[in-house]
Copies of this chain bind each other. A is one copy, B any other.
Amino acid sequence: MASPPRRGEFRLIAELFAPLATHPGARGLVDDCAYLAPAPGEELVLKTDAVVCGIDFMSDAMPEHVAAKALRINLSDLAAKGATPVGYLQTLGLPRDGSIDDAWLERYALGLAEDQARFGIALLGGDITATDGPFWASITVFGTLPCGTAPLRANAKVGERVFVTGTIGDAALGLAVRRGGYKPNAKDAAFLVDRYDLPQPRLAQGLALRGVARAAADVSDGLVADLGHIAEASGVAIDIQAPRVPLSDAARRAVAADATWLPRLLAGGDDYEIVFTAAMDPPADAGAVEIGRVVAGQGVTVRDATGQPMRFARAGYEHF
């Protein structure tokens, strides 16, 4: 029978989380605050986002994946800004019904440890609270950037070109696979589900784009919606050519089998690629593909191979 964690708050912190608090500003989680000072000439980039069981992941998800997703959806925002990640604060809501037990939390902490090593970050501090609802984890990440150099959503200018890293739509297909709405071959299914379960924050690409990206965002709400945020914040319009949007082989096969997938992939979410505007060619190691242009006006137009604007049933994902 499941039972609530036996360790209690203080032992959970001491045994599972203090070993992760290797940043000096964390003071080993012995203090009740954390301390952080960027180097002279640098500013901190802050992002907070949460994952909730039943909303952002399913109750049978691997705890290591939940930890990775909680960190990575935040790191992805830092990546889009070209920031160097430093550390994070974490608040956990633990269900009193015992649905999250000690073994689950140990694996969750292992997932954090693995991603700390992978991304060069450390836990700075946090809090553990109880809830009568499902498990949730609220993460705040910190990165650094030379002062005033962030490629803000509001920076796009008419005449700039629009680029995106990686491939778009895999996570939307992965979610459909998980939900039974799309049944590809086993290899594609595994690839797509992994793209949904485990975002890959494009930190190296973001760093390579420093000084090149003018306006940038990570693709979390969906390509069309996130371009819409840039267009609205910048007071411009964005014109995209759908055939130029990079798709994985697995996504190409989905679209070949059913053309209605294309608008769903372009409006889907959870890609965690970087979409940005630039006036010059991005460096090759950013792995970015040109997909359109910033033009005068407002809104986002996505054109098909004949130049006709495509229609979208759903402009972008709202989390509530």
Contacts and interface: CB of A to CB of B under 8 A. Distances in A.
Interface of A: 4-5, 8-10, 12, 25, 27, 30-38, 40, 42-52, 54-56, 77-78, 80-81, 83, 89-91, 93-95, 124-134, 136, 138, 140, 145, 147, 150, 152-154, 217-218, 229, 233, 318-320
A75 to B, nearest CB: 11
Contact of A44 (B44, B45, B138): B44
Given A27-B152, A33-B83, 4 more contacts: A9-B319, A30-B233, A32-B218, A131-B136
A50 B129 contact: yes
A46 B132 CA distance: 27
A70 to B, nearest CB: 11
The oligomer's copy count stands at: 2
Given A4-B320, A48-B126, A233-B30, A138 B36 contact: no
Contacts of A32: 47, 77, 80, 153, 217-218, 229
Contact of A35 (B46, B138, B217): B46
A44 B34 CA distance: 8
Contacts of A35: 43-46, 145, 150
Contacts of A229: 32
A94 B320 contact: yes
A55 B127 CA distance: 14
Given A40-B40, A218-B32, A320 B130 contact: yes
Contact of A132 (B134, B145, B319): B134
Q: Which of A34, A35, A319 has the most CB of B within 10 A?
A: A35
Contacts of A140: 48, 89, 140
Instruction: Give the one of A5, A9, A10, A78 with max B CB within 10 A.
Output: A10
A42 to B, nearest CB: 7
- The 4 A-B residue pairs with the shortest CB-CB distance, nearest first, are A133-B133, A138-B138, A37-B43, A9-B318
B320 A9 contact: yes
A132 to B, nearest CB: 5
Contacts of A138: 48, 50, 91, 138
A126 B319 CA distance: 13
A81 B33 contact: yes
A30 B154 contact: yes
Given A52-B130, A320-B5, A47 B30 contact: no
Nearest to A145: B35
Nearest to A131: B52
Contact of A46 (B40, B43, B125): B125
A47 B31 contact: no
Contacts of A5: 320
A49 B91 contact: yes
Contacts of A44: 35-37, 44
Given A55-B129, A154-B30, A8 B48 contact: no
